[in-house]
Amino acid sequence: MFNVYIIGAGQIGSRHFQALKRVKFPLSVTVVDPSEQSLAVAKKRYEEMPKGRYRHEIKYLQEIDTGQKIDLIILATTSNVRAKIIKDVLKKNQVRYFILEKIVFNKKSDYYAVKNILSKSKIKAWVNLPRRIRPIYKKIKEQLIGRVVSVRGIGSQWGLACNAVHFLDLISYLTGDCDYTVDTHHLDKKISLSKRRGFLEIHGTLYANFKKGSRCELSSHTSGNAPLLIDISNDNIRYIIREPEGKYWASNARDNWRWEEVSFRTPLVSETTTLIVENILTNGDCPLTSYEESIKTHLLLLEPLRHFLNKNSEKKYEHYPFT
């Protein structure tokens, strides 16, 4: 029986927990969160899911136990405590694999320190940037065949500091190019408070230019309720995607740019994590971004955002106050 821990039973962590119910082999699952309320909500959501093939062993804790041989940890806490948790867990337990949420850490030094710890212990880790495992983006990747691409994302109040990394990772997936620079000159100089207490958010427009020629333009309006619209194109194809509606419009040069409207469904975290966990536990791998690759994707974004923040706020930051 595989031993799986979920650390952090909030909105995302509880959805990961739901997904484990469908795993096709028996698990021992431990959910850890200091909040009794969060644990209660996670338990309720798990019990709401349809019965799976196996009745997994479930345990709820407010502190991480010790002396365990853990096959997989899904670490769904906020960014400011994640590195410390990894270090503390590995001092007292044996772990084979990690799935980490973004933004992974809030300090540059933590990215390299954790890399060294994981490498020394031969532990594999991935970052949950799920667009690269969604069918629509797999389809687009097959049509691009590594060619350069232009990606635009525009909507209201969706937050660049928290979410831009999703699109930068998507371009890396679509093109195989993970080297880029960002232009922060068109960001809104008024820094916003995040929906999560103690963190900040940035709106405006962020540009990114990739080494092999791909481009990215991401705009988050400071007000309104415009849904996120994604535009992916090059000289051969174009996709306009409205994920909240489950619709996209596609055209290509081969068909004389005739538009086709297609309905699609974005898999929920409570569904995708099932397959990811099964792949990791049976094959030792999964299609999510490796932690090593995601270090570069994160830091090429976060360092310029930190410098922008320090230019436009009274308080000066040595860390990334984003999650």
In CATH, the number for domain 2-129+270-287 is 3.40.50.720
User: What's this model's pTM, rounded to 2 decimal places?
Assistant: 0.96
Q: Judge contact between 79 and 107, C-beta under 8 A.
A: no
For the chain, residues classed under CATH 3.40.50.720 are: 2-129+270-287
For the chain, residues classed under CATH 3.30.360.10 are: 135-266+301-310
pLDDT in tens, 67-99: 999 999 999 999 999 999 999 999 999 999 999
Taking only the tens of pLDDT, the chain with its 323 residues reads 999 999 999 999 999 999 999 999 999 999 999 999 999 999 999 999 998 888 999 999 999 999 999 999 999 999 999 999 999 999 999 999 999 999 999 999 999 999 999 999 999 999 999 999 999 999 999 999 878 999 999 999 999 999 999 999 999 999 999 999 999 999 999 999 998 888 999 999 999 999 999 999 999 999 999 999 999 999 999 999 999 999 999 999 999 999 999 999 999 999 999 999 999 999 999 999 999 999 999 999 999 999 999 999 999 999 999 99
Tokens of 166: 């999703």
Q: What is the mean pLDDT of the chain?
A: 96
Q: What confidence score (pLDDT) does residue 115 get? A: 98
Three-state DSSP at 151 gives strand
Beta bridge partners of 50: none
Gap between the Cα atoms of 74 and 12, Å rounded: 10
In CATH, the number for domain 135-266+301-310 is 3.30.360.10
Q: Find the angle CA(242)-CA(248)-CA(254) to the nearest 5 degrees.
A: 145
Nearest CA to 184 among 233, 214, 218, 222?
218
Q: What confidence score (pLDDT) does residue 309 get? A: 97
DSSP β-ladder status, 260-263 and 247-252: antiparallel
Contacts (Cβ under 8 Å, ≥6 apart) of 215: 148, 149, 150, 151, 207, 208, 209
